[in-house]
Amino acid sequence: MLNIGQVLKEERLAQNKTQREWIKNIHLSVSRYSEIENGIIKNGKKADIDSEQLILLLKNNNVDIMEFFSKLQDDVSLTDELSLELSQSFNSGDIKKANEIKNKILTDPEVSLGLKYRAILVTAELKDHMASLDQNTIDEISNYLYKSNDWVKNKEALILFGNSMPRMNQSILQRRMKQIIKEYADISRFPDSVQRRISTICINYVFNAIFVYKMGTYVRKSLDLIESLPANDVYGLKKLVGQYYADYLKGDQKHMTELKDLLARCGYTSLANRLSFDISK
């Protein structure tokens, strides 16, 4: 059986693509990807690709995921297989499948603690955006995920951060948002999936900073990041909401009302109702 790098190379060459074309919109350098394809070993560790990047890479290049994995079944450990299946279920929004995989992961003594926490977060996110996660579980997973500065690159840590802001200590919230802003200041160099995730965090942060914690720290920088997003149908709604918050900070009730009315006329009635902050009162 072939390994992941060999199968990726086989699929790429079958489509007559260069490595740069193959990894377009993936947060991965050509040199790093070349190491993965060629199985380069550095400091005793073989170059590898994480499950989220792999699934995204296959989807972007229209590669049948099941067929891909059938070519390397013997090369993939049970843990790797569960991790990849978990990513698939999350990307497809299949909560039933995610719960089945989570149960397998939690009962497997060979699975890492990180993957177990990830399974809990993935299923909780699919269920109700983590609203049902109890505080003890959040604290336990937080201590694990935030133990290094690399948490800002971890999908599950970012999801947890974005959805636990109202229950977070204010100083911790500010410190973690500072790390987010520093890492993603030049948001345009990241793939769309990352831009969507970070811009959602910025929207959530601005709301919580202004209306929950009554603070202005990193609000302007968060709004600047949202403003820098492409003006297209993917980010249009977020840019409108960002502009609404910017008008709120300037005390511009007229433009706030216009934006809210526009959202309501376009069918976003629920969102418009949530944006009911009358600064004249």
Predicted pLDDT of residue 220: 96
| Dihedral (Cα; 152, 185, 27, 122), 10-degree rounding | 40
pTM, entire model? 0.65
Residue 35 tokens, joined: 């190491």
- The angle formed by the CA atoms of residues 212, 217 and 221, to the nearest 5 degrees, is 115
pLDDT band at 2 (very low <50, low <70, confident <90, very high): low
Q: What is the pLDDT of residue 281?
A: 44
Average of pLDDT values for 170-182? 93
Residues 3 and 75: beta-carbon distance below 8 Å: yes
Q: What's the pLDDT score for residue 95?
A: 92
Counting residues of the chain whose pLDDT is more than 90, the rounded percentage is 33
d(CA 55, CA 53): 6
Lowest-confidence region among 24-38, 60-74, 177-191, 241-255: 60-74
In the predicted model, is pLDDT for residue 93 greater than 60? yes
pLDDT of residue 246 exceeding 90: yes
> Looking at 50-54, 100-104, 126-130, which range is the least confident one?
50-54
Half-sphere exposure of 67 (CA within 13 A, CB side): 8
SS3 (DSSP) at 45: strand
Give me the amino acid identity at 80: D
Q: Name the band, by pLDDT with cuts 50, 70 and 90, for residue 280.
A: very low
Determine contact, residues 163/129, Cβ cutoff 8 Å.
yes
For residue 101, give the 3-state DSSP assignment.
Answer: helix
Contact by Cβ (8 Å): 165, 202: no
Which range among 48-57, 94-103, 173-182, 244-253 shows the weakest confidence by mean pLDDT? 48-57
Instruction: Work out the end-to-end distance of the chain between its first and last CA atoms, rounded to an integer number of angstroms.
Output: 70
Nearest C-alpha neighbor of 142 from the set 128, 162, 127, 112: 162
Task: Count the neighbouring beta carbons within 10 Å of the beta carbon of residue 205.
Answer: 27
What is the Cα–Cα distance from 63 to 8, expressed in whole angstroms? Answer: 10
Q: Is the pLDDT of residue 103 over 50?
A: yes
What is the phi/psi pair of residue 192, to 5°?
-55, -40
Mean pLDDT of 157-175: 85
> Within its chain, how far is the Cα of 118 from the centroid?
13
